[in-house]
């Protein structure tokens, strides 16, 4: 499995001082940018113009998570902006395979996200079209929520499918990630972790990133990635 990556979410950052907040996480693997439209989720954050400015000043690549309706129409523009990775929600896409291919064609890694209640099985045949699969471990829309352990079996099933496919797709989790929950998520098979409050709520975000990376990189017990019996 690929190395543990920590992508802090700026949803928990000081929006008035975003450039300074980005410098505080320069040791991160990427910065997770939550784009919300108050339609797909009940919250409104930022849009393409702000993402373009973040792209211009960020010391690390951008990992854009689009929690927006009509992803097929809007997602490609984020790839055109130079964002390294663009993740759309499958629940907001009419043609996810076509969209993933278009994102890749425009130079971005293609990511697909699933809400906690969305089963992963119908989309496992798509793995070869993706660079990243995001399993939401909270309901999307707000930061500061508690990790949903009920998503762990889905993470295990996704990991088994990725390993079996030989695709090398990154398995990302987002929501409620702390030094404690990252261990459970890593044992289930995740290797990319979005953390908001655990990073920006710390006195030293860079140290918090290092601690999370260490916790998520611990050797997993034998059989930790096995799929539980139904």
Contact (CB, 8 A) for 87 and 148: no
Give me the sign of the Cα torsion angle 204, 181, 177, 30.
positive
Predicted model pTM: 0.92
Percent above pLDDT 70 for the chain: 94
Q: Which of 29, 63, 131, 174 is catalytic?
A: 174
The pLDDT of residue 2? 64
149 tagged catalytic:
no
Average pLDDT on 191-216 reads 97
34 tagged catalytic:
yes
How confident is the model over 55-99, as pLDDT tens digits? 999 999 999 999 999 999 999 999 999 999 999 999 999 999 999
| β-strand partners of 88 | 66, 112
* Selection from 185, 217, 205, 192 nearest residue 6 by Cα: 192
| β-strand partners of 134 | 113, 172
Q: Which of 29, 34, 63, 131 is catalytic?
A: 34
């Amino acid at each position: 499995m690929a190395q543990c990556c920590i992508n802090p979410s700026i949803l928990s950052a000081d929006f008035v001082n975003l450039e300074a907040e980005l410098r505080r996480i320069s040791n991160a693997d990427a910065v997770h940018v939550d784009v919300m439209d108050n339609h797909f989720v009940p919250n409104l954050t930022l849009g393409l113009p702000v993402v373009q400015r973040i792209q211009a000043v960020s010391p690390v690549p951008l990992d854009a998570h689009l929690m927006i309706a009509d992803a097929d129409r809007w997602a490609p523009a984020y790839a055109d902006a130079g964002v390294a990775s663009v993740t759309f929600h499958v629940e907001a896409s009419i043609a996810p395979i076509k969209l993933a291919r278009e994102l890749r064609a425009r130079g971005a890694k293609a990511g697909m996200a699933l809400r906690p209640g969305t089963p992963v099985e119908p989309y496992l045949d798509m793995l070869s079209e993706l660079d990243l699969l995001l399993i939401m471990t909270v309901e999307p829309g707000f930061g500061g929520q508690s990790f949903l352990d009920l998503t762990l079996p889905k993470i295990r099933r996704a990991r088994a499918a990725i390993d079996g496919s030989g695709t090398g797709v990154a398995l990302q989790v987002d929501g409620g990630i702390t030094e404690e929950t990252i261990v459970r998520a890593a044992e289930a098979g995740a290797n990319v972790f979005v953390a908001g409050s655990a990073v920006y709520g710390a006195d030293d975000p860079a140290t918090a990133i290092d601690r999370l990376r260490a916790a998520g990189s611990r050797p997993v017990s034998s059989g930790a990635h096995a799929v539980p019996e139904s």
